[in-house]
Amino acid sequence: METKTSKIGFSIKEFYNFSLIEFVIKGGIIDPSDLKNVELPPVPYNKGAAISGRGPVWLYANLAHLLHPARWVGTYEPRMNSIIVVASHVNHPQPGDVIPLE
């Protein structure tokens, strides 16, 4: 019997105008086929969604796609301790905007 178990764990921290979604790759190693079993936890779509974690660009691009229904999508940039907005359905913020984490 094959059981599908996600190799990617998530934790969510709520901020006033966005959710910070941090992923952890269990065992530290991920294969592209693991994208088939991503189980994103419920994320509020009435604010932004920011992605954080150590992982390949294709995981980031996949998660950004899955979070598309959020008001906007961003990625956490550790070197700036900030969220970089990469997609938006609203006037503010827009792609390229930088939201410092406090």
Kindly state the tokens that stand for 102.
């406090």
- 19-38 residues near a second copy, rule: CB under 8 A: 32-36
Give the residue with the Cβ less far from a second copy, 26 or 68.
68
- Give all strands of the β-sheet with 18-25 in edge-to-edge order: 8-14, 18-25, 48-52, 72-77, 82-88, 98-100
* Residue 69 makes contact with a second copy by CB under 8 A: no
Place of tokens 């934790």: 11
Place of tokens 């913020």: 93
Q: Which stretch binds a second copy (CB under 8 A): 10-18, 19-27, 39-47, 70-78?
A: 70-78
Interacting residue ranges for a second copy, rule: CB under 8 A? 32-36, 51, 56-58, 60-62, 64-65, 68, 73-75, 77, 80, 84-87, 94-98
